[in-house]
Amino acid sequence: MSKLRFDGQVAIITGAGGKAPSLGRAHALFLASRGAKIVVNDLGTGPDGRGVLRANAEEVVEQIRQAGGEAVADTNSVADPDGAAAVVKTAIDAFGAVHILVNNAGLAHLTTFDALSESDIRKMTDVHLLGPIWMCRAAWPHMQRQSYGRIVNVGSSAMFGSADASVYGAAKAGVYTLSKGLAAQGVPHDIKVNTLLPRAGTLAITHLQAPSQITDAIMRQPVEHLPPVVALLAHRDCPCTGKGLEAGGGRVVEIALAATAGYQADTIDLEDLAARWTDVVDRTDIRIIPDMANDIRITPKSYIPA
């Protein structure tokens, strides 16, 4: 198979100015090495959102240029519409187009729900959920006019529930659903949108999470395993849209929603439902929900079998 390249393509990567090991930085360097022109976006506060681990977009740009690539830095915030529009304007002004958007920017305050401050909650939802929304809104008209675009939204397995990441996980679950909706809308325009749930040992992991068997296992998964996955999802030959893919440690798997055969009755009776609860949660005849369920009337029986 010939080498997959991005010559002539312009990629915006948010949150790409972090200190190594950093996923955004790794994605920027990899795509640049394959010929893409990169907008390295980073506000500079780092993954804790408080500036303890400073990020530097210019530093990553210089590394790309020294390797013979093309890149510009952008320090606008993705957390509001004006900032997102400014990021896209940086790409248009510097390179004349935007073909690829990787919504990687993020911060985390990992603690129990009752211990989170209102400010922490707003910061996480602004960056992790509204950030991708504003960035996609800013880039979408350009992609639609050129009848081409690739968007990779970065999610997290925290969307499945974690005691110390309830709000963070909720925002990431929203990103997963955002990708599916935009994927459906993008089909006529060759705009493909997917979600990546990464697992890798980054500087943020060591700073934000206490040592444990789980964090130790994550830290053994190199960030270098992730950029090829992002690159495939960002490539002209991307084989999918509306998918959720978890990747890390050399493994890539699809994450999908499913429904059981469930409980069915003409009228739901409280006591009967309680007595037959095992039918509701019986996974024997489980079905995978379609990637893009455009019809809200869809029934479990019409789901595509796993």
Catalytic residue numbers?
Answer: 168
Q: How far apart are CA 245 and CA 219, in angstroms?
A: 20
Distance, CA of 43 to CA of 16 (rounded, Å): 9
Detail the DSSP E strand segments found in the chain. Answer: 10-14, 37-41, 71-74, 100-103, 149-154, 191-198, 244-248, 251-255, 258-259, 287-288, 304-305
- Reference 259, options 294, 297, 289; nearest CA is 289
Q: Which tokens in the block code for residue 101?
A: 């958007």
Q: Say how far apart CA 144 and CA 48 lie, in whole Å.
A: 34
**Among 130, 124, 188, 183, which residue's Cα sits nearest to residue 152?**
183
Cβ atoms of residues 28 and 105 within 8 Å: no
Distance of CA 15 to the CA centre of its chain: 12
